[in-house]
Amino acid sequence: MADAPAPRGRSGLFSAVRTKLNLLMYTRDFRGACGAVGRAARMLVTGQFRTFFYKLLVPRHGLKPAGSLVERPGPPLYLAGHIHGHGGYDHVVFKALLGLTAAGVHVFRDPRAFMNPKFVSEDIRPTERMYTFDEPRLAIIPPHLLYRFRPGEKTAVWTMWETDTLPPGSVKYLNRCKLLMIPSQWGVDCFRANGVKIPMEVVPLGYDPHVFSPRQPGSGPAVCTFGTAGALTEGGLRKNVQRVIDLFLEAFPSRPDVRLKVKITPRSPMVNTHGDPRVEVVNAPLEPEALADWYRSLSCYVNASYGEGFGLHLLEAMGCGVPLISTTFSAVGEVFDSAVGYEVGYKLIEAKNKIYSGRWADPNNDELIARMRQVCADPTTADQLGVAAAQRAPAFSWSDSIRKLTSALTAHGFLPPLAPEQPRAAA
């Protein structure tokens, strides 16, 4: 064991005890705390004073043995965000972990963040060490859940929202942080209008051009095929997947040479296809390569969402050479317009959802139907718009996202200037 730290007097002991109490309240590991108290008592009873003070005064300790993990060089940064699977915020957390590690940052896992080893390979797995609020931390989490990580002046947040009104109480926790990164200027304006006062930077999300690559010319589906995707839980209901199904059937009540493919999450309740065999539903998880093949099997991707914090599905479809049918409301308008698809009008309505409040966009049903019919009537134009979409998408690669992320973290003091090598963020 290394030498114990020199005695720091009464103030040092007080600070050490306060840190331990803070960690206990943060992790809520009361069972572990009881065991630690028992071990400390045994040290004192058996005269192991040196060991006792070492354990007390060392400000950080590991949550669990690091096993075969090697201590990495590079500036430390704690990552607060969950990785349960492939989609949503989990995907953003994974890409940040991958990109930051490749950029030379020594990433530590915030102890309240759950990261499933099934999705995090050992070569990028964060180091395990207790967080004590005195080192920089990046939180990637929705605004209404940020409080769970007890944000403070050492916390930067990468987050987004889908309406013009932030969740109740979230502004208080956002303003406790030092930096906020939002994927769109629309989002920055929205957060500022809601009372967020801390510095903000636009840091878009991205996609992997090598995975979601354009299909070969002339290799699109022989039958006009639409697609849409999303979840059917409370947060995902904004995607309006069922609405796309209903409007597809209204647009093509009996036409045999048209299809609709629907991708929903495994935990979603099943959508109602009204018994129409032209509607194909996939509710199993798809690996990125399989998801890219799914996009490339479409003539057009239909987005009837009320709002998007960024729109990863849309960007991935564009990368595969698939045009979109969509509104330009929220962050979508900074990626999509009529040069790469078919714009749909909308009106602002009040969000009625357990998660959302404020206003978001209600797409015009008649225009959605007209745009779907237009795609089938003029496949040549649809193909041309798909080519334009594939040409625009690379402006939003994950490699570029990680460069902007590290640049923002550096500019605001969370990281020192990194080596000039380009991050390996596209894997």
pLDDT, mean of residues 93-116: 94
pLDDT, mean of residues 32-43: 70
pLDDT of residue 38: 74
- Topology (CATH) of 76-206+399-411: Rossmann fold (3.40.50)
CA distance 393 to 320: 9
The 10 Å CB-count burial string (b at 16+, else e) for 331-350 is: bbbbbbeeebbbbbebeeee
Closest CA to 109 of 86, 85, 87, 140: 140
Residue whose structure tokens are 């929205």: 190
User: Cα separations (Å) of 304 from 83, 229, 238, 268?
Assistant: 27, 10, 9, 18
**Number of Cβ atoms within 10 Å of the Cβ of 118:** 9
- Edge-to-edge, what's the strand order for the sheet holding 76-80? 127-128, 106-109, 76-80, 137-140, 155-158, 179-182, 200-202
How is residue 100 written in tokens?
A: 């930051």
What percent of the chain has a predicted confidence (pLDDT) above 70? Answer: 84
Q: Is the pLDDT of residue 311 over 80?
A: yes
Q: Is the pLDDT of residue 14 over 70?
A: no
CA distance 18 to 15: 5
- Name the residue with higher pLDDT: 261 or 9: 261
- Name the residue with higher pLDDT: 84 or 229: 229
Q: What are the helix (H) ranges across 266-378? A: 288-296, 312-319, 365-377
DSSP state of 413: T
Q: CB-based burial of residue 96 (10 Å sphere; 0-12 exposed, 13-18 middle, 19+ buried)?
A: buried
- Name the residue with higher pLDDT: 53 or 369: 369
Contacts of 198 (CB under 8 A, 6+ apart): 174, 175, 177, 178, 179, 180
Q: Is the pLDDT of residue 421 over 70?
A: no
Q: Is the pLDDT of residue 12 over 60?
A: no
Residue 230's H or E segment, with its range, is strand 224-230
Confidence category of residue 61, pLDDT binned at 50, 70, 90: very low
CA distance 311 to 206: 10
Residues 373 and 365: beta-carbon distance below 8 Å: no
Confidence category of residue 422, pLDDT binned at 50, 70, 90: very low
How does pLDDT run across 330-378, given as a tens digit for each residue? 999 999 999 999 999 999 999 988 889 999 999 999 999 999 999 999 9
- Name the residue with higher pLDDT: 32 or 380: 380
pLDDT of residue 146: 96
- Edge-to-edge, what's the strand order for the sheet holding 324-326? 279-282, 258-264, 224-230, 300-302, 324-326, 341-343
Confirm whether pTM is higher than 0.75.
yes
How does pLDDT run across 189-209, given as a tens digit for each residue? 999 999 999 999 999 999 999
Contacts of 384 (CB under 8 A, 6+ apart): none
Closest CA to 183 of 78, 359, 308, 84: 308
* Average pLDDT across the chain, whole number: 87
Location of each CATH 3.40.50.2000 domain in the chain: 76-206+399-411, 224-395
CA distance 242 to 148: 33
pLDDT, mean of residues 259-283: 93
| The CATH classification of domain 224-395, taken from the options 3.40.50.300, 3.40.50.2000, 3.40.50.720, 3.30.450.20 | 3.40.50.2000
**Number of Cβ atoms within 10 Å of the Cβ of 330:** 25
CA distance 398 to 207: 5
How does pLDDT run across 222-239, given as a tens digit for each residue? 999 999 998 776 555 789
Q: Is the pLDDT of residue 136 over 60?
A: yes
User: Cα separations (Å) of 70 from 15, 51, 97, 138?
Assistant: 30, 25, 16, 22
